[in-house]
Amino acid sequence: MDMSELTQSSAPRRFIGGQLLGSSQLVLGVILAVLCMAISIAAPQFYSEANIIAILRQCALVLIVASGMTMLIITAEVDLSVGASLAFVGCIGMAVLNSTHSLTLGLLAALAFAGAVGLFNGLVVTRLKVNSLIATIGTMMMLQGGVYLFTREAVQNHHRLASFTVLGAGYLGAIPLPVVVAALIFALAAATLRFTTLGRYLYAVGANERAVRLSGVRSQRLKLFAFVVTGLCVGVAGMILSSLMNAGQPTAGRGFELTVIAAVILGGTSLLGGRGSLLGTLLGVLVLKVIDNGIIILGWNQDLQMVVPGIVIILATYLDIVRNRANVG
């Protein structure tokens, strides 16, 4: 009650939703700028065209999946099975390519499999009411084991399709194809969240699912949608990854889910749902990948690639809390 006493009378000077997000992204933008400057002072080759392209290529896979994951986390759910699914998708896609020699069928198989994983997660969460953290850990374990039942070793490229290689290694002008795909998916997801009724309902479901249900909107379908979209994004990313590695690797994607979720959270999307944006996610992905890149070009111990992002996430989240507290007064 006392909080309401406060906030009512101080309402005019409070931040509104959009600005709140904006300033959270501002913090991240500053972090990114500082990182870039610091790295480039120590290693001037940071700004070389080759390195920038390398960073963008590194970002592409994470950004593709993070686009779906942002939607999902905005609805207050999460999917931890994306890493395991990513590896499985690559193996299945490659196996289908080997037997059909058709890129279309290979892609469709990958999308169908990944979409089905998303649907399964969504049904377990919305129908069986299992908490998504637990449900998708379950799926993750099933997929991690399942991929070894499917193949004990990497599925090699026996089809030699040139179009498949282009998927990962090709360029559109000067830009790598995976980056173009990531940009398209990102733009589509961002426009959906920002401008469509669907996007608004996704935020609404995360902000208060019961209110959405009482308003006559089928909240479960919205969550199901977000799970499936996340799955489909994994399908796309999985195929690109197998093209880059020229094999379906059952061990690929370990820890990938953590990178994706870390980028989304770093970008200011609330795990509690109802709050977040894709622009933030983009910045989050960039920050993580610039750190990765910096560690490599500075010649630091590569194990720091896990350590430093861990520190950054805690710091950034803490800064966000401090900033929110300052706003509330």
Partner 1 sequence: MSVDFLHPGETVAVDKSVPALEMRGIGKRFPGVVALDNVDLTLEPGKIHALMGENGAGKSTLIKIMAGVYGKDAGTISLRGREADIKSPRDSLKEGIKVVFQEIALIAEFSVAENIFLEGYPTGKGGSIDWKKIRADAAALFKRIGFNVDPAARTGSLPVSQQQMVEIARALAHEARVVVMDEPTSSLTPNEVSLLFTVIRRLAALGIAVLYVSHKLDEVFEIADTVTVLRDGRHVSTRPIGQHTNDTLIQDMIGRRIENLFPRKRGAPGSKVALSVEGLSTAKKLKDVSFEAHAGEVLGFFGLMGAGRTELAKAIVGYDPITSGAISVDGCRLLPHETHTGVRLGIGLLTEDRKSEGLMGELPVYQNASLASLGAFARMGFVDKVSERKAVQDYVDRFRIRTPSLFQQVKNLSGGNQQKVLISRWLMRGLKVIVVDEPTRGIDVGAKSEIFALIDRLAGEGLAVVMMTSEMPELLGLADRIAVMCEGRLTAIMPRDEATQENILNAAIG
Interacting residues with partner 1 (CB under 8 A): 1-2, 4-14, 16-18, 195-198, 200-201, 203-204, 207-208, 210-218, 274-275, 329
| DSSP 8-state assignment for residue 16 | P
CB 96 within 8 A of CB 105: yes
Closest to partner 1 by CB, 71 vs 117, is: 71
Q: How far is the CB of 3 from partner 1 (least distance, A)?
A: 9
Q: How far is the CB of 217 from partner 1 (least distance, A)?
A: 7
Q: 3-class SS at 329?
A: coil
Q: How far is the CB of 327 from partner 1 (least distance, A)?
A: 10
Closest to partner 1 by CB, 12 vs 299, is: 12
* Distance of alpha carbon 28 from alpha carbon 20, whole angstroms: 13
Closest to partner 1 by CB, 76 vs 96, is: 76
Q: How far is the CB of 25 from partner 1 (least distance, A)?
A: 17
User: For residues 213-230, b (16+ Cβ closer than 10 Å) or e, as one string?
Assistant: eeeebebbebbbbbbbbb
Closest to partner 1 by CB, 18 vs 173, is: 18
Q: How far is the CB of 148 from partner 1 (least distance, A)?
A: 42
Closest to partner 1 by CB, 7 vs 99, is: 7
User: For residues 19-37, b (16+ Cβ closer than 10 Å) or e, as one string?
Assistant: ebbebbbebbeebbeebbe
User: Within 10 A of 134 (CB to CB), how many other CB atoms are there?
Assistant: 12
Name the residue among 136, 89, 96, 131 with its Cα closest to residue 235. Answer: 89
